Amino acid sequence: MSIRLGTRGSTLAVRQSRMVADALAEASGQDVELVEISTAGDRSTAPVAALGVGVFVSALRDALAAKEIDLAVHSYKDLPTAPADGLVIAATPLREDPRDALVARDGLTLAEMPAGARIGTGAVRRIAQLHSLGLPIEIVPIRGNVDTRLRKVASGELDGVVVARAGLVRLGRANEVTEILDPGQMLPSPAQGVLAIECRVDDPDLFDALRALDHAPTRAAVDAERALLATLEAGCSAPVAGLAEIVEHGQTDPAGEIYLRGAVLSPDGRVALRLSRTGTLADASTVGRLLAEELLGAGANEVLGVQQ
């Protein structure tokens, strides 16, 4: 009997899930079949911020809990920070490039965009950071899969789009990037570029097989970034950014060090709090929590519009 892997139906989701399926089949020696599941986020054209947290994962989790599938593959940044009853993240594979990227007409970079250029993106985090750059561009909120977004540039509807580079790499379209955006100007979403492989806690054999796909430094980075997000009590659609980088020192210091940057922005980008913190991999979650507390002390709630 084959292992049933639940996935969203977009080209990128299927590609990511196929990568996991192939790796799991090699690790376990069992056949793995993909089961496509439609989510509320896939069916709606409303802005992600209006749909709420977990809009791309709830249907997959429901199917997993109902034993209609055996595991699910998510883009980790889409997951709510609260755990789901009866489910566990069994593996976080090696992270793809977490940075954002610009795909623009005529090979242009952001700095080269003419006044009035139309740049499309869907995430309020990206919108806020684009505003904060003070460029004379028009920012256009958009929805849709990667192919849909890139077609808006090819057709001339937009002058460029900002998307996650990880998705372009996995789709084999990284050569279309005209500028990789430095995290100093466009800090990524927490867990961007990371996949979360989830199964039921009552399936220990599958959990053990999936552990072969886990990458410990990636898991530590995600723990720090999501602890930051959870402590701020901000959802995946809030203008909050975070990126943890791992420095492994080899045999002299096998634990390594984690360097976490976090940012909280007002939606219009006029106010931006940016702080950083370091710590050990073993204390990754603590590093994220403490950085969030520093951001809160600096006024993050006010920036996010939260009433105290």
Structure tokens at 30: 């069992």
What's the rounded Cα separation, in Å, for the pair 14 and 210?
18
What's the rounded Cα separation, in Å, for the pair 206 and 118?
47
Longest dimension (CA), the chain: 59
What's the rounded Cα separation, in Å, for the pair 21 and 79?
20
Q: Which amino acid is at 116?
A: G
Residue positions annotated with a catalytic role: 78
**Token pair 């886990």: residue:** 214
**Token pair 């057709």: residue:** 155
What's the rounded Cα separation, in Å, for the pair 223 and 45?
31
Burial class (CB in 10 A: 0-12, 13-18, 19+), 235: middle
Distance from chain centroid for Cα 18? 18
**Token pair 């909120």: residue:** 141
